[in-house]
Structure 1
Amino acid sequence: MPDLTYRVVIRLCRALFRVLGLRIDIDGAHHLPRTGPVVVAANHSSFIDFMVVGLVGTRRGRLIRFMAKQAVFDAPVSSQLMRGMGHIPVDRAHGETAARTAYRALQAGEVVGIYPEATIGRAFEVKDRADLRRGAAYLALCTGASVVPVAHWGVHRVLTVGGRVSLRRGTAVRVLVGEPLTRLPGEDAEGLTNRLHAVLAAMVEQLLDTYPQTPAEPGTAWWWPASRGGAAPGTQEARLLDEEARLLADAGRRGR
């Protein structure tokens, strides 16, 4: 059976969501086309946010092939699962290989999932425009695929960077799917990325405005954005933490 591994993993993810009692709400899934090449571009705040972004695809009868860092494909167990699901490894030193694989997937009419922020945003808001990669826009422009923005908020409360893990039941997770972005006359990858950033940032703000579990004391809530009085790192602090983590990861690779 085609994509058997992927379908089994979907069932396991749904079982996990039930165990955790996650209150997942998805709005706008109809914006994801049922057929044809699509680039799904999502914000990145958790190690497991691909699970909730993937739900958008299953609601439309589609499987999203996510681009993920090479390290996930190097681990014994996750390697088999990731390859079995047709996800795409990204080696930062050889990004062109991943781009070619994603290009072929789009040419075959697949949905490719990309995190333009590249790494998890520790401020739990969309990173600054300067920190967004243009890969999603490039792939869309060279294949004719539309870019569907997907914003989510809340799943980082379950598992994210810094050893933050919570098995508390009933966490609200909200997902918002935006209208497909298609190329404007004369638009290049830079312009499309600028539009994508503006849309994603606005969508995350919308989710924050309507989030049903606003902390009673924002200043003590590590998961609530600093811009709203929360204890999460501010934008500049988050950027420094990202750079520190990148340098440590690079040192680890060199030491192998």
Structure 2
Amino acid sequence: MEWTSKDGFRVEAGLEPAPKHAEAKELVYSRLIIPAIKGVMKAQGLQITIQGAEHIPADGAGLIACNHTSYMDFIFAGIPARLRGKRLVRFMTKREIFDVKGVGTLMRAMKHIRVDRAAGAASLDEAVRRLKAGQLVGIFPEGTISRDFELGQLKSGAVRIAQAADAPLIPMAMWGAQQLWTKGHKKKMGRHHFPIWMKVGQPIDASGDVEAATQRLHSAMAELLAEVQHDYEQTYGAVKMERAKMEPAKTERTKTEQ
């Protein structure tokens, strides 16, 4: 495999450039927030590898389904889309984040999707509407961070959204982000030079029976995750983190739950 650097990320040398998307002109998300985040990542010395970005459409809708190992996943999972003409991903994000003073204003400005578990149908409908409008939507179908960092059971929301919007359902796997900030471990947000590896797969067949399609999504994501873990270990060595201890009588959920 031959590699090159693009926009500060390690990518496959054969990745074709995509024309700049109109989303690249958005003031808050594209021109203010993303440059600030890239500055932080550079200060942290993060080494980010991306494969398969070509599977994300350079224009039009796409529902990106990623595994969930870190509180930072919603930041990193949007990077492959940046390689496709600086596209933006609108993540499904729990209501409580929108309720935080100042943060909620930014979330609305970036057009992320507010998820209220007490009225989940509304967030699904909004995700469908966004996809039909030609946006990229991000979802973490496990619904919570995996404590052992392996792919857990998937909720059916991703398939149901893709079916209703008639949009491509694009699997993705990420490995290494758990070293920064995850459940049951201390944050390590300084300059640690952690490697992070992402791989995007071809869209899956999301048609037909929802349960069967969800299993196809799980299989695709599991295969991508196994490949990423293998390549990561061969390049950087194993991620040395213990499984977080379970908290008794408490179920903790994350801001990306759906």
- Tell me the CA shift for residue 54 of structure 1: 0.6
TM-score normalised over the length of structure 1: 0.82
- Give the secondary-structure state (helix, strand or coil) at the position aligned to 1:112: strand
Aligned pairs (5 A) from 1:185-196: 187-196=208-217
User: 2:47: which partner in 1?
Assistant: 23
3-state DSSP class of the match of 1:140? helix
Supply the AA of the counterpart residue of 1:25.
T
Q: TM-score if structure 2 supplies the norm length? A: 0.82
Tell me the residue number matched to 1:153: 175
Shift of 1:163: 4.4
Deviations along 1:11-54, whole A, 9 cap, x unmatched?
Answer: 11111110000000001100111122111000111111111111
Counting helix residues as a fraction of each chain, which structure ranks higher?
A: 1
What do residues 171-211 of structure 1 show as CA deviations (whole Å, max 9, x unaligned)? 11000000111345xx2221111011011111111111121
Unmatched 5+ residue regions in structure 1? 223-230, 250-256
The residue that corresponds to 2:243 in the other structure is: 232
Alpha carbons 2:65, 2:170 under 8 Å: kept: yes
Q: Percent identity?
A: 35
Of 75, 78, 84, the match for 1:60: 84
Matched residue pairs, number?
Answer: 225
Match of 1:37 among 61, 66, 69: 61
Q: Is the 8 A contact 1:157 1:164 kept in 2?
A: no
Of 54, 60, 74, which residue of structure 1 is paired with 2:99?
Answer: 74
Give 1:91's match in structure 2, choosing from 116, 119, 129.
Answer: 116
Asked if the contact 1:3/1:84 (under 8 Å) is kept, the reply is no
Write out per-residue CA displacement over residues 78-128 of structure 1, whole angstroms, 9 at most, x where no aligned residue. Answer: 21111110000111111011111111101101111111011111111111x
Alpha carbon RMSD of aligned pairs, Å? 1.9
State whether structure 2 residue 119 is matched by structure 1 residue 102.
no
Runs of 4+ in 1 over 6 A off after TM superposition: none
- Aligned residue for 1:133? 155
Give the secondary structure class of the aligned counterpart of 2:69: coil
Q: Which amino acid aligns with 2:164?
A: C
Q: Which residue type is aligned with residue 186 of structure 2?
A: R
2:145 and 2:206 map into 1 onto residues whose CA distance is 27
- The reply to whether residue 178 of structure 1 matches residue 192 of structure 2 is no
Q: What SS does structure 2 have at the residue aligned with 1:26?
A: strand
Segments of structure 2 that go 5 or more residues without pairing to the other structure are 1-22, 254-258
Match of 2:227 among 206, 230, 239: 206
